[in-house]
Structure 1
Amino acid sequence: MSNKTKSPDLLSAPIPKTIRDMTIPMIFGMVTLMLFNLVDTFFVSLLGTDPLAAISFTFPVTFTVISLAIGLSIGTSAIIAKALGAGNLEEARFDGAVALIVSALFVSVLAFIGYIYIDPIFSLLGAKQDLMPFIYDYMHVWFIGSIFLITPMIGNAVLRASGDTKTPSIIMGSAGLINAILDPIFIFGLGPIPAMGIKGAAIASVIAWAVGVFLILYLLIIKKNLLSLNSKNQTFILATKKMLKIGLPAAGANMLTPIAMGIMTAIVASHGAEAVAAFGVGSRIESISSIVVLALSMTLPPFISQNFGAGKFNRVAMAYKTTLKFILIWQFALYLLLIVFSGVIANIFASSEGVVSVIKLFIWILPLGYGLQGVIILSNSSFNALHKPMNALFMSVIRLFVFYVPLAYLGSLYWGIHGLFIGALIGNVFTAIISYRWFCQTLQSIESNEQIKVCEA
């Protein structure tokens, strides 16, 4: 590849420093995007209860499309990073171009179906007729503009596969900033631009995504020369199959989480409204506490895939172990911090003494397992990096529907809300052990000629 595509050397550079340098920009990008999404929700909330309720109903639908996009981006990153690690630069460029085209087609078809069936979809979700006009206004624009959502996501996956995580973080942050600036303008109006209400929020998002499309295509085609539709050794169909083999199971695994959380919420609801309110706060605490884990789940796979493609299995094992050790220490330190400030946190989010006490209970129990949850998430992303997507999918099923939800339910039956949280914690313990051992065995079987056990502690 030319100097225009120069990227971090994932095949020989020191492992801890390389992963750290890749992860820090991703953390910045994710935090920036999260803050701007909160701003988005804030502006919609100023329109009143009905628009806010309407946009809440859109989350399961938009998350379905986004889950597909995330899954396809995981598949894209895995196949391109492996090709780069093996030195197949032409294959990597071709795979990237095909991934962009195929992903756009998939999302377009899904969005078209959603657009046509807005009424039955949202009626099934329980939306009342008085909310439907708001939902129409938002989703008509969102579905049409979703083609602009997928391109930056896939393009960022191509960049991460080459070891570049700074550029994706800048693009993520820029899109979030544009969205935050345009939100009040299109929602409430400014000068010649009329107030468009909830439709304005969707238009602001689509414009931000469109800017992301321009930036990512300029970078991939002009600046970095990472895309090409010329290949002597493979066809469009073959490249598509490679990407979908990993991307579709990864998308399915992403979709399992909201299903499981819905079931968990129903279980929590049996303990009253205060428990539900506290669990909602706890879920927000969990999402914020998992930022480093999620950032690593985007940066570790390209490292693993490139070294997998190059046959450097010891570097794969060392990166996997080093990352897990770090995340266990990091999340435990975070747990201690949450314990110290549990009272302050609880009182920020709630005024009811009952809700405050349940939030404190949540903080004392569940965050203790966030490091183990990190082991599970990073093992899953590493399975995808080794082109073992079904392992990752099965691991998600085992975690959520064999251990996490069932043990939480059993704990809830016998020991109330205390038992529910402890059961969920124990579920993470069992799943973390299984995921670690399974990944080690998988890596060992792939490199069967290796004389040492690459995952031995």
Structure 2
Amino acid sequence: MVQTLRSDESNSQILKTIFFLAMPAVIENFFQTILGFVDTLFVSKLGLIEVSAVGITNAILAVYFAVFMSIGVAANVFIAKFQGAGNKEKAKEIGHQSIILAIILGVLFGLISFFLAEPLLRLMGVENSVLKSATSYFQIVATPSIFISLMFVMGSILRGNSDTKTPMKISIYMNLIHIVLDYILIFGFFFIPALGLEGAAYATVIARILGVIGLSFYLLKYDAFTASPFAWKINKQIQWNLITLGAPAAGERLVMRIGQVLYFGMIVALGTNTFAAHQIAGNIEVFSYMIGYGFAAAATTLVGQRLGAADIQGAKRYANLSILSGAVLMTIFGVFLFMMGEWAAHYFTDDVKVVQQIKLALQIDAFIQPVLAAVLILKGVYQAAENTKFPMYSTAIGIWIIRTAGVYLLGVHLGFGIAGVWIAIGLDNLYRAIWLGINYRNGRWLKYIKINESSKGIKSS
């Protein structure tokens, strides 16, 4: 399961290894996005109240995901590091400790979801007409948060061991089962009654449980962890290292969410059509993120393994070629956005004015794609070096200052509308690419790692 990396590899061999890890992650992201579309489509047949209930629940769950994903990032980084150092037992121990942490956090968030569902939803500004449906859906989906946390962490353990195919396969099977269960439990089938919105919630939970079972099977099969109870004693030092590395990664995602709240209100002020166009353009652009996140995942694992082997130059080669290959593919996707944006927009709306705004947004976004690729993959490289703080800082400045101020100045004050909004998004990404790139070139991305300790412990400087 673990890739054998050699310091004498040619560029073509490195590219082959990168694509071997990146493409399954890209495919996995694609299926997850498709599931989101299908899920929304089914729920929309029930009515606007149900759509609102799911939407507000997902907004809260985004915070949960940020926390769980951050533990997955930390597990991936440390496991890749110890695999690169040839310390397989330590890598296995990291897997054990990350699963323990996932269970603790999953149970904690589950209890919060069960007992505080209604207050949380009221805090989000849910209308009374939606509150009952939203509370029921939220409690069913979020109370078993342990399965959400375990899915994130178990998938990350496999990726840290250079296996991106298994999470992809599990995700595909899980999503297909989810779609079938969605239809059966929402609308009913033969003797199974129609459960409506609650059916959608139960379908989600069942799919996640099956996903955890599938990932557990492969982790045991590949000896990535052991079922022996003696191996599951809490190691406070490792737990602390997982939390301190993961916290800034979670912080970055929360920073992004808060930033979106800041500038979304400005876009709403531009008019309903403009906001709708912005949202639809974002739904189309999301497919480019699949590419970027896939290559970022590959970079985190491969760069982490080279750093674990104390091979900084090898780590840089993998980082450089990951960025280059991801940027090329996202540039090609950018050409599609520029040429076919109007065609894609017609799948979402027939309003001519909205379609023209979507087309303009996507044509601007086409030029952002290579810059966005650099930002996403560089974040993966920084994570491999146990540096999750720099990406968080760059995101905070980029979205809170550059993007928010840009949307107001260009979109609202100067009257550029949707064009001003997407130019501001481009400027934010350009700033982050330059800031992360400069610190990568001058070696400051390695600030929080001690290469010579890679086979001894995980204590950062």
How far has the Cα of 1:51 moved from its partner?
A: 0.9
What residue in structure 1 maps to residue 25 of structure 2?
Answer: 26
Matches within 5 A, 1:44-59: 44-59=43-58
- Decide whether aligned partners of structure 1 residues 230 and 52 sit closer, same or farther in structure 2, where only a CA change above 3 A counts: closer
Q: Distance in 2 between matches of 1:110 and 1:414?
A: 44
2:229, 2:47 → 1: CA distance? 53
Are the counterparts in 2 of residues 271 and 416 from structure 1 also a CA contact under 8 Å?
no
Residue identity opposite 2:373 in structure 1: G
The normalised TM-score by structure 2 is 0.91
- Partner of 2:251 in structure 1? 252
Q: Kindly provide the amino acid, as one letter, of the partner of residue 181 in structure 1.
A: V
The residue type equivalent to 1:44 in the other structure is V
Deviation at 1:153, TM superposition (A): 1.7
1:416 counterpart SS class: coil
Displacement of 1:357 in angstroms is: 1.9
Show the counterpart of 2:213.
Answer: 214
Q: For residues 168 and 353 of structure 1, what CA distance do their matches in structure 2 show?
A: 41
Whole-Å separation in 1 of the counterparts to 2:379 and 2:363: 26
Q: 2:428 maps to what in 1?
A: 427
Could you tell me which amino acid in structure 2 is paired with residue 8 of structure 1? Q
- Residue matched to 2:312: 313
The within-5 A match list for 1:41-440 is 41-221=40-220, 223-228=221-226, 236-412=235-411, 413-417=413-417, 418-440=419-441
Of residues 6-15 and 201-210 in structure 1, the stretch that sits farther from structure 2 once superposed is: 6-15
1:85–1:309 contact (8 Å) kept in structure 2: yes
Distance 1:273 1:170 in 2: 40
- Whole-Å separation in 2 of the counterparts to 1:99 and 1:335: 37
Separation in structure 1 between the aligned mates of residue 277 and residue 96 of structure 2, nearest angstrom: 46
AA in 1 matched with 2:414: Y
Contact persistence 2:98–2:153 (CA under 8 A): yes
Give the stretch that moved more between structures: 395-404 or 247-256: 395-404
Alpha-carbon contact 1:111-1:144 (below 8 Å) kept: yes
| 1:231 positional shift | 9.3
Q: TM-score, normalised by structure 1?
A: 0.91
Is 2:326–2:373's contact at 8 Å kept on the other side of the alignment? yes
C-alpha spacing 1:172/1:448, structure 2 compared with 1 (3 Å)? closer
Q: Indicate if the aligned counterparts of 1:107 and 1:150 stay in contact, CA closer than 8 A.
A: yes
**What residue in structure 1 maps to residue 459 of structure 2?**
none
8 Å CA contact 2:337–2:365 kept in 1: the answer is: no
* Partner Cα distance (1:353, 1:375) in 2: 34
Aligned length: 442
Contact 1:11 1:85 in 2 (8 A): no
- C-alpha distance in 2 between matches for 1:448 and 1:207: 43
Q: Which amino acid aligns with 2:329?
A: W
Moved more, 91-100 or 315-324: 315-324
Residues 187, 201 of structure 1: 8 Å contact kept: yes
Aligned to 1:7: 2
CA distance in 1, matches of 2:229, 2:440: 36
Q: CA deviation at 1:138?
A: 0.9
Q: Deviations over 1:307-335 (max 9, x none)?
A: 11111111111111112222332222222
What is the rounded CA distance, in whole Å, between the counterparts of 1:42 and 1:347 in structure 2? 17
**Separation (CA, whole Å) in 2 of partners of 1:327 and 1:170:** 22
Percent of pairs with identical residues = 23
Distance in 2 of aligned mates of 1:236 and 1:162: 21
Report the CA distance shift for 1:111/1:145 in structure 2 as closer, same or farther (over 3 A).
closer
1:71–1:254 Cα contact (<8 Å) kept = no
| Cα shift at 1:22 | 0.8
1:379-437 deviation per Cα after TM superposition (whole angstroms, max 9, x unaligned): 12211110112122212212212322222322222243133322322222222111111
User: CA-atom RMSD, angstroms?
Assistant: 2.1
Gaps of 5+ in 2: 453-461
Displacement after TM superposition at 1:361 (Å):
1.4
The structure-2 alpha-carbon separation of the partners of 1:132 and 1:329, relative to structure 1 and needing over 3 Å to count, comes to same
Which residue does 1:442 correspond to in 2? 444
**Partner SS state of residue 126, structure 1:** coil
Residue type matched to 2:358 in 1? Answer: I
> Residues of 2 paired with 1:411 and 1:246: CA distance?
37
Offset at residue 378 of structure 1 (A): 1.4
One-letter amino acid of the counterpart of residue 444, structure 2: T
Displacement of 1:342 after TM fit? 2.7
Asked whether the 8 Å contact 2:245–2:388 carries over to 1, the reply is yes
